A and B are shown apart, each in its own frame.
Chain A
Amino acid sequence: MLESLTGAVELGLLYALMAIGVYITFRILDFPDLTVDASFTTGGAVAAVMISNGGSPLLATICAFGCGLAAGAVTGLLHTKGKVNGLLAGILMMIALYSVNMRIMGKPNISLVNTDTLFTSIEGNTVLYLLVLAIVVIMVKLLLDAFLHTDLGLALRATGDNARMIRSLGANTDTTKIIGVSLSNGLVAVSGAMIAQQSGFADMSMGVGTIVLGLASVIIGEAIFGIRSVVRATLAVILGSIVYRIIVALALRVEFLDTSDLKLITAVIVVGALVIPTVRRSMKQKSVARRRTQELIAAAGSQGGRS
């Protein structure tokens, strides 16, 4: 039990950067970017190829970040300069990157077993390992928080909030969108690189469903921990990523569920998190409407009696 809990926290932290990436596009820019399904693999592929060829794991992870940035920038360009619908731009890039990823890897999967990775030296000590992971994730979070409070970061946030206004104040919203989508995919690729190193392999399908995993983390985090400010929201996303992994670990302990049911469980979580608030809101509205109508009828009735 304890082992599966630490395992869940570990995975949650490794996927947290991906979730933050999805948060940037989905929540800040209000741009549902599907590129992440492929850029996650790109990150894993780049890292695996470099490391298996004797490259430094740190350099490999940084290169993965760069490739993710580039992939996101292309999606952003397609959407802003090419005026391609946002969803479609992401899907197009996802398809295109599939071929690119295959080219990078040269074969469907690469093993990193018996190779030194970022985690080799600390893997033995679980506490230290989790602590280092947590510190890295928190540092990225703090950097992002700071960025989102700079002049450029404010313009980026306003782009998703009120694009017309920030344009009238002189920001080029094409540029801010490209920066945001690029940054998002950079973080997603780093997450892919970390997962490849942790699991000891990269394969072509490792990114499938990334967008839904990311969304699940974002939505769970927001629902549980709130989004009152940017600083709070990014923390919520990280915690959401961990909680999601814990939910999955618990679900997998149920007898009749299989590992392959994971994606279905995730979809159910996301659907639940999306539908429940809507249903609750409409139920509340109905009850308010009913109460107010009764009050108004009662008021009208007493007036009617007098006239």
Chain B
Amino acid sequence: MLDISQVSKLFNPGTPDEKIALMNIQLKLEPGDFVTVIGSNGAGKSTLMNIISGVMKPDIGEVRIGGKAIHHLPEHMRSRWIGRVFQDPMAGTAPTMSIEENLSMAYKRGKARGFGWGANAAKRKLFREQLSRLGIRLEDRMSAKVGLLSGGERQALSLLMATFTQPQILLLDEHTAALDPARAELITDLTEEIVRDMSLTTLMVTHNMEQAIRLGNRLIMMDKGRIILDIPESRKRDLTVPQLLGEFERISGRQLADDRIVLG
């Protein structure tokens, strides 16, 4: 489904700040794969997400979705296939617009936008149904401005906006990191449920080691622009957090440094 081959990215080439963020990344996801990604600060996890979604272009290498090469397309032309939730709850929604207007925009993901009515009765009905799946009563506040919602509510809405059109790839970049533990758990549960129900091919960056082990069917670990460990489902099932941290130390020769790390 997602095929990343030989992808490398260099920032600020030829300056003193030159920094190789990704080196020869090789990663292939099958349809329905749910891969969790962990790694130290600056390992290149967000850069990888940005390259898949088109915010940045790789210097070398290819990104394919369903066999189609997409690495040369601008971000807005890839969004048809890719749903994304950012770390910052402010990033995924438009604050001065209402919940239903935000959903209307997500409904048109990757389609031409013309003079059709943004939110008509049929769409509203669909939005109401979808919102009720979140279980936080947003369906009763469809005309409320999104800026009035709490961070957790906004993130739940972002998650719904990223997924309800069933994109081929779902990218989650520490999308619970900015929330308090109770809200983070709600969003994690929702993520698990939505990804399972829609069998979305998902790549999820997380700083929560326990979550990285528990969720999904595969775990990859990144360090200094490389994928240093790739753990399949069979081994992941009875992996523990200390074992995982031990693996990191064994391969990289130092402790996992992540300023947002949660062990579980």
Contact = CB atoms under 8 A, between A and B. Distances in A.
Partners in one complex: yes
A151 B53 contact: no
Interface string B132-152: 000000000000000000000
A151 B75 contact: no
B79 interface: yes
B237 to A, nearest CB: 34
> In the complex, which of the residues A147, A151, A161, A170 has the most CB atoms of chain B within 10 Å of its own CB atom?
A170
Contacts of B95: 161-162
A147 B117 CA distance: 9
Contact of B94 (A147, A166, A172, A173): A166
Contacts of B86: 164
Interface stretch (B96-104, B208-216, B242-250): B96-104
A168 B53 contact: yes
A167 B50 CA distance: 13
Contacts of A302: none
Contacts of A147: 115
Using C-beta atoms within 8 Å of the partner chain, give the interface range for chain A.
20 to 34
Contact of A165 (B94, B96, B104): B94
B77 interface: yes
A150 interface: yes
B118 A170 contact: no
A169 B108 contact: yes
A226 interface: no
Interface string A154-190: 1101100110111111111100000000000000000
Interface in A131-156: 147, 149-155
Interface in A73-132: none
B115 A154 contact: no
A171 B97 contact: no
Contacts of A158: 94, 97, 105
Interface of B: 53, 74-77, 79-80, 84, 86, 90-97, 101, 104-106, 108-111, 113-119, 161
Shortest 9 CB-CB distances between A and B: which pairs? A170-B79, A151-B113, A161-B94, A170-B110, A158-B94, A162-B94, A154-B118, A152-B113, A150-B115
